[in-house]
Structure 1
Amino acid sequence: MSVREEHRAALRALDGDPAAVCAYLTARSGLPGPRANLELIGAFADVATEGLVLALADSPDEYLRCCGTVGLGRLVVDVPADARTELVALLSDRAAEGSWRVREAVAMALQRIGDAEPTTLGALVASWVGDQDPLVRRAAVAGICEPRLLRTPATATTALDVCAAATASIGALPSDARRDTGVRALRQALGYCWSVAVAGDPAAGLPRLAALRSSDDPDVAWIVRENEKKTRLRRLLDPPDVPSG
C-alpha cells in the first residue's frame, strides 16, 4: 500500500468527522517546514465529502485551505457541466490569493480536471489567461503546463497558446505596472512553463519560442533566457550527436 493509499484509508476511517479529519491533516501536514505533505493533500482530495471540501477551501488555515482547494478539482469533474460555475469561481478566487501554497493547490486542482476532462481544462485556462488579475493568468499557465497533460495534440497546443497569451499580457504592460507582485509571479511561472509547453510539442513550440528571442522587451527576454536554461529545453535545442555508420 502506498503512502497515499494509507492516508486515504485513514481518512475514510474517520467517517467524514470534520474535527477528526482536520486534526489528522494538521498533524501530518509537514508544516511548519520546507515542504507541505502533498501526498496527504492528494489523498484528502480523493476521498473527502463535498461539504468538507467546500468547508476547507474556506479555512483560515493555509494547509487545510490547500486541501480543500485541490479537492475542488475533483468536485468540478464530479458534477454536471451546468453545475460547475460556483466551483470554478471559487477556484479563481483561490488563484488570486496571497498564499503561494494555495496558488499551487489551484494548479493541482486544474491538473485533476485535465486528467479527467482535457477539453474542460482547455476551455477553462483559455478563459483564465484573459483575466485582468495576473495571478489568475498565472494559474492558467501553471495548471496546463504539466507534462502528463500534454500527451494530446489539442492540450499541447492550448499550453503553447496560453503561454503566448500570458507572455503578451506582460509585454503590453507599462514598466511601472510590472512591479506588481502578481505580475512578477506570472513572469516567474512563464520562466519555466514555456519549456514544458515546448517539450509537449517541439515541432510547433520551438519556432514560437524562437520568435520571442527577437523581442527587445526585457521581461520577455528574461522569460526566454530562463527557459533556455531548463534541461528539457536544452535537450531539444542541442540534441546529442548521433554517431554515423
Structure 2
Amino acid sequence: MSGLKNTLAPFQQWINDKEQWEDLAGYMRQESNLPGPRANLGLAESFAQLYSHSAVTEIAWDLLLVWANIAEADAGTNEPREFLPFNAVCAAGAYYGYAEEERRCVIQAMIQSAMNDSRWRMREAAAMSMQNIGEFDFSLLRQLLDTWRVDANMLEQRAFVAALAHPPLLKIQENTVYCLNLAAGIMEELLLSTGVPSDREHFRVLSKGLEYSLSVFVASEPEAGFAMLRRFAESGDARISKIVKSNLGKTRLSKKYDQQVADLLLLMGLTRG
C-alpha cells in the first residue's frame, strides 16, 4: 500500500467499490500519523479532493455516511480509526457546493454533529469542512452560519470562529467584516452572561477558539478590528480581557501593529509578556 501514497487513482477506485473499502480504510489508518499530535492533513486534503465535483456516485456517497457515523466508542481520540470519520466530514464539505439539496441537508447534519463531538479532532474536522465550503463559495458558508448562529451553543460558536479564521477566506474585505461581526456577536453574548457557564469545558473550548481567531480577523481588517478589540478591552470583564490580551499577544498583531497593541494593553492596565 505504501506505493499508493499521494496517488489519487487508486483512491478513486476504492471509494467506488464497496469490496475495496476495507483496503482503503486500512491504508488511511496506516498513513494517519495517529496516534500523534498531528494527523496526516495532506492525505486528508487529497481524499477530500476526490469529492470536489458533482459526479459523486451513490457508492462513494455511502462511504462518507458510513465513515462519518463511526462513533467514539469504535474510534476514540487519537486512534488511527478516528482518521476515517475525520476524513469523511472534511470531504463532505468539499462536496457540499456540488451536491443536490437532499445531500446538502445530510452534510449540514454531519457538520453539526461533528461540531458537537466530544473528540477535539472531529470538531476540527467540522471547522475544516466549513472552510472547504467557504473556499468554494463564501456565500454558501455565510448562509449556513446565519442559520446556525441563532441557536448555536458554545461548541458550535467555537467551530464558527475556527472555520472563519482561515486566511483564504479573508481576501475579500466584505468577508472579513462579516467574520468580525460574527465574532463580536459571540463576544457580546459572553459579556452579557454572568460568570463562567455551568458547562466549563465547553466554555473553555470556545474561549480558546476566540483567543486566537480574533487576531486573524483583525490582521485582515485592522481599522475595524482594533475598534472591536477596544470595545471589549473597555468591558472590565476578566473573561473578555483574557481573550483580548491573548489576541494582542499574537505575532500577527504585535509585530505589525505595535502601537495599537500597546495602547489597548495600557487601556486594560496590562503590560507586555
Of 217, 221, 233, the residue aligned with 1:201 is 221
Which residue is 2:111 aligned to?
91
The alpha carbon displacement at 1:231 in A equals: 0.7
RMSD: 2.0
Matches within 5 A, 1:1-245: 6-14=6-14, 16=16, 17-47=20-50, 49-60=60-71, 61=75, 62-81=82-101, 83-177=103-197, 180-238=200-258
1:157 Cα deviation from its structure 2 partner: 1.0
Pick closer, same or farther for the CA change 1:68–1:83 going to 2, 3 Å: closer
TM-score (normalised: structure 1): 0.89
Please report how far the alpha carbon of residue 168 of structure 1 lies from its aligned counterpart in structure 2 after TM superposition: 1.6
Structure 2 counterpart SS, 1:78: coil
Query: Distance in 1 between the 2:182 and 2:101 partners?
Result: 23
Deviations 1:132-188 (A, max 9, x none): 421011111111111111011221111101211111222222224165211110110
TM-score scaled by length of structure 2? 0.80
Unaligned runs of 5+ in 1: 240-245
Structure 2 stretches of 5 or more lacking a match?
A: 52-59, 76-81, 260-273
- Give the stretch that moved more between structures: 129-138 or 115-124: 129-138
Share of identical aligned residues, percent? 29
Q: Is the 8 Å Cα contact of residues 129 and 165 (structure 1) preserved in structure 2?
A: no
The Cα offsets for residues 181-213 of structure 1, whole Å up to 9 and x where unpaired, read as 111101100000000011121122121112211
Moved more, 128-137 or 103-112: 128-137
Is the partner of 2:111 in helix, strand or coil?
helix
- Please say if residues 125 and 144 of structure 1, whose CA atoms lie closer than 8 Å, have aligned partners that are also in contact: no
- How many residues end up aligned between the 2 structures? 236
SS at match of 1:31: coil
More off after superposition, 67-76 vs 177-186: 177-186
CA distance in 2, matches of 1:218, 1:15: 50
- 2: CA distance, partners of 1:213 / 1:26: 45
Contact 1:129 1:138 in 2 (8 A): no
Q: In terms of mean alpha carbon deviation, does 37-46 or 221-230 score higher?
A: 37-46
Closer, same or farther: CA 7–221 of 1 in aligned 2, 3 Å: farther
Cα 1:168–1:63 change in 2 (3 A) is same
For the 8 Å contact 2:196–2:203, the answer to whether it is kept is: no
Q: Which amino acid aligns with 2:171?
A: R
